[in-house]
């Protein structure tokens, strides 16, 4: 699970640095779409999972210097034990003009066979002064 949180924190940091909070005026949304290949360790099956699919990031800046970003991943994955998965990931970042931010992420790794499914969610806030507060930290293995 710690590996997953590092990935989420990295996604939040990338999205958070994509546009400065001091932007003077709103611009059209920036959209980035790329293919992804990534390694990930499943805590439900204790296997290395190679993910391949589509990553999309959309950033909506506002005139007052705040912005909202959404990241989605739709992919398939194969674990080193032969398990095949469908990956769905959605993350949201909201940065206010004062620099405070809120990040939420929901990750689902659904087995196409008998392996356990992994459902994870994490949410945190960072205040304008830099104080970090984890509000949701949930990892469930089902199936």
Q: By mean pLDDT, which of 13-17, 109-113, 139-143 is the weakest?
A: 13-17
**pLDDT, position 110:** 96
pLDDT of 111 above 80: yes
**pLDDT, position 56:** 92
Looking at per-residue confidence, does 105 or 17 come out higher? 105
Antiparallel, parallel or unpaired: β 132-142 and 30-42: unpaired
Do residues 72 and 56 touch, judged by C-beta distance below 8 A? yes
- For residue 92, what is the enclosing H or E element? strand 84-95
**pLDDT, position 33:** 80
pLDDT tens-digit readout, 46-94 = 999 999 999 999 999 998 889 999 999 999 999 999 999 999 999 999 9
Looking at per-residue confidence, does 58 or 27 come out higher? 58
Residues 6+ apart with CB under 8 A from 132: 124, 125, 126
As a whole-number percent, the residues of the chain with pLDDT over 70 amount to 81
Q: What is the DSSP letter of 91?
A: E
**DSSP letter string, 8-53:** HHHHHHHHHHSS-TT-SS--PPEEEEEEEEEEEEETTTTEEEEEEE
Q: Is 2 helix (H, G, I), strand (E, B) or coil?
A: helix
Q: What is the DSSP letter of 116?
A: P
pLDDT of 30 above 70: yes
Q: Is 96 helix (H, G, I), strand (E, B) or coil?
A: coil
In the block, residue with structure tokens 């993910």 = 51
**pLDDT, position 39:** 81
């Amino acid at each position: 699970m710690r590996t997953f949180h590092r990935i989420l924190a990295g996604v939040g940091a990338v999205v958070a640095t994509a546009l400065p909070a001091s932007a003077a005026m709103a611009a059209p949304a920036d959209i980035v779409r790329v293919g992804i290949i990534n390694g990930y360790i499943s805590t439900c099956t204790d296997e290395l999972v190679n993910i391949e699919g589509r990553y999309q990031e959309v950033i909506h800046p506002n005139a007052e210097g705040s912005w909202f970003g959404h990241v989605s991943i739709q992919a398939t994955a194969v674990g080193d034990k032969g398990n095949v998965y469908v990956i769905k990931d959605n993350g949201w970042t909201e940065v206010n003009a004062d620099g405070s931010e809120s990040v939420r992420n929901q990750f689902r790794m659904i087995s196409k066979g008998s392996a356990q499914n992994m459902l994870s969610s994490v949410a945190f806030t960072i205040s304008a002064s830099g104080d970090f507060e984890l509000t949701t930290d949930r990892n469930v293995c089902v199936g």
